Structure 1
Amino acid sequence: MTTLDLVMALVVGGLFAAGFYLLLDRSLMRVLLGVIVLGHAANLLLLLTGGPPGVPPVLGDADAGERYADPLPQAMALTAIVITFGITTLLLALVHRAWQLDGHDEVRDDVEDRRIGTIQDRAESGPPLPTDRDQEPGGRQER
């Protein structure tokens, strides 16, 4: 492994780490930036798998003993660029719409998820909670 390969591996790893870190944030703009960084990391990884820089592409009249650059990762990188651009455009439209409706790009807590989480926490730490069957139609609990 050469120094260039090691540096590029660290750069790709750093881009993936930064992209996933941004995806875990509650701000939709940071999620969008995380998707963009992940797209760039994937493209760089695909281009690195194509071979060392400066190697000529496959030519019909070249000798069989020469090393060639693999064209498949380059084609996959072009496809990944188009897909990333489409996803970025969709997410940008969603972020813009969320900004128009709410005035901010912060993702709200899901009330149902929070309720289920507190029920599970209570069930693990204390006595069982009363259910809907334990209550009379008038709202009073049975004794």
Structure 2
Amino acid sequence: MRALFPGSFDPVTQGHQDVLRRAARLFDEVVVCVMVNANKTGRFSVTERLDRLRAAATDLSNVTVDSHTDGLLVDYCSRVGIDVVVRGVRGVPDLDHEMPMARMNRELAGVETFFIAADPALAHISSTLVTTMSQQDRVPDR
């Protein structure tokens, strides 16, 4: 079975890499896809994000990297023949955000959503946090 792991990946985090590796063990093929979120201003270009994802997946033979910058996620799924979307969730707020989209994807195109709980050691990391910290040129205290 093929699965899609979509996201803005701006930037790619260790949490993204963890979810990707775990999904790659569960599915025959995983397409990790850079999507453009109109509500976010990208720090890295789509090309840079694709390059970083390819570098993160070099040892995963069943992972391919792609982008979809215009249209709905279900349009992409329909075009490439994918029926399952993988989403990493760090906690209840993520799940609350993801559930309406999962329901809509299922209603619109029969695309199911498979949730992978974040590794607790990485659950506090988000692309927004990484971007904010790097813009401030600060490293969090440990």
Q: Which has the larger radius of gyration?
A: 1
More strand by share: 2
Which structure has more RCO (C-alpha within 8 Å, separation ≥ 6)? 2
**TM-score of the pair, normalised by structure 2:** 0.22
More helix by share: 1
**TM-score of the pair, normalised by structure 1:** 0.21
